[in-house]
A and B are shown apart, each in its own frame.
Chain A
């Protein structure tokens, strides 16, 4: 077999990804995220999120997971490639630091957070994602998430 293009580790420009996810922000915010509430709450309980925990949600979408974490007392933050989704996330989380940006290069310094979560923001095909795909909700989920955590932090990925 001869192939003209090698399979390489790459990813689409994050602004294109952002536009792609932001094309139907109303549907994502009102149909998709609410259907995941059980999952968000279950993950937060699994990670024992409590008062004062500094939590970053990577690919935070329209911010429902951060909002639920806030109800448990966490100090939430989020990053997403979609400007339109983050606009909704800001409405839902007026006191949280919600940013538009590239999740591979979040503006926060390494070690800023106690907890990092991501719900389908990091796939096995995502560059830098761990090969630990057999237990994706456990801590070695992703180097890009782990770097943002303090020592002994928790990373939750679904």
Chain B
């Protein structure tokens, strides 16, 4: 469950009747809140950041509904971009944390963005890694697959595995395909295996529900509005070989939010995992300059 390591505290909060599991690591005056991402994985996707950050900061992490130690509702009403900020605030409250530096990867990027804008008093810095906010077009093959998501296909190759019926009948093969797209760097089998193990802990029913309802999604207009309203120091890190979230999305978020932008040459969708050495160094530098720690 959750992140491997030695948590100093664990607990759950209830939000809209659902149980959210959280963990706390390390100690320090500064607090880092690691947002979850799409529940196709659980919070162990932060495994290369938690041990390192917790040497200097108090680190909080929680599982999104649908995977890890949190509940797995199969009603889409429980999921959506605009709902996760409430879960984050509940975790901060449970841990008596006034404000934190928030970090999000992929879908966790727009969730961190929403938290930073809707609760500016709780967020003193923000790191967006491969942020999947709808601020630029998706990859064409993803758009095509999405348009036929509910269709029945005669066969499923490549992105046509992004399909409701395929998830229900060949979930593990979909997972392997999807994570192969997350890690476009050579020799990434170890990382693909790790993500597959996390993905296998949810169900296709929960994953389908996690696509949510239109009412709770971050639209392009709202994402643009939110990005312009970021007031805290922010950093965007994005790989230029990201096959899931186009680099243009990270670039546009950085432009609108006034963020520092780090483009990682050769990196895919999970640089915090596949190129953690460099990502951690950038985060360290950013947190230092953002003065996250109140008593440096």
Contacts and interface: CB of A to CB of B under 8 A. Distances in A.
Given A1-B204, A1-B205, A4-B173, A39 B187 contact: no
A contacts with B: majority SS: loop
B296 interface: no
A40 to B, nearest CB: 11
Interface string B167-198: 01111110010000000011111110110010
Given A32-B280, A38-B55, A7 B189 contact: no
A48 interface: no
B203 A20 contact: no
Interface in B1-26: 4-6
Given A3-B171, A136-B5, A125 B189 contact: no
A152 to B, nearest CB: 24
B228 interface: no
A1 B171 contact: yes
B216 interface: no
Contacts of B212: none
B219 interface: no
A20 B6 CA distance: 26
Contacts of A137: 6
A20 B188 contact: yes
B189 A12 contact: yes
Contact of A7 (B47, B169, B200): B200
A31 B282 CA distance: 10
A16 B197 contact: no
B116 to A, nearest CB: 26
Interface stretch (A22-30, A89-97, A99-107, A110-118): A22-30
B104 to A, nearest CB: 22
Interface residues of A, number: 34
B275 interface: yes
A123 B204 CA distance: 26
Contacts of B197: 7, 125
Interface in B96-115: none
A31 B281 contact: yes
A31 B189 contact: no
Nearest to A7: B200
Contacts of A109: none
A17 B172 contact: no
B277 A27 contact: yes
Contacts of B6: 135-137
Contacts of A135: 6
Contacts of A39: 51, 55
A140 interface: no
B187 A16 contact: yes
B142 interface: no
Interface in A30-61: 31-32, 35-36, 38-39
A5 B189 contact: no
Contacts of B275: 24, 27
17 contacts: A1-B168, A4-B170, A7-B172, A7-B200, A11-B190, A17-B187, A20-B188, A20-B190, A23-B185, A23-B186, A24-B278, A32-B277, A32-B280, A35-B55, A120-B51, A123-B47, A136-B6
Given A23-B187, A136-B6, 5 more contacts: A2-B169, A17-B187, A19-B187, A27-B277, A136-B4
Interface of B: 4-6, 47-48, 51-52, 55, 168-173, 176, 185-191, 193-194, 197, 200, 203-205, 275-278, 280-281, 284
Closest 7 CB pairs of A and B: A12-B189, A27-B277, A20-B187, A32-B277, A5-B172, A19-B187, A31-B281
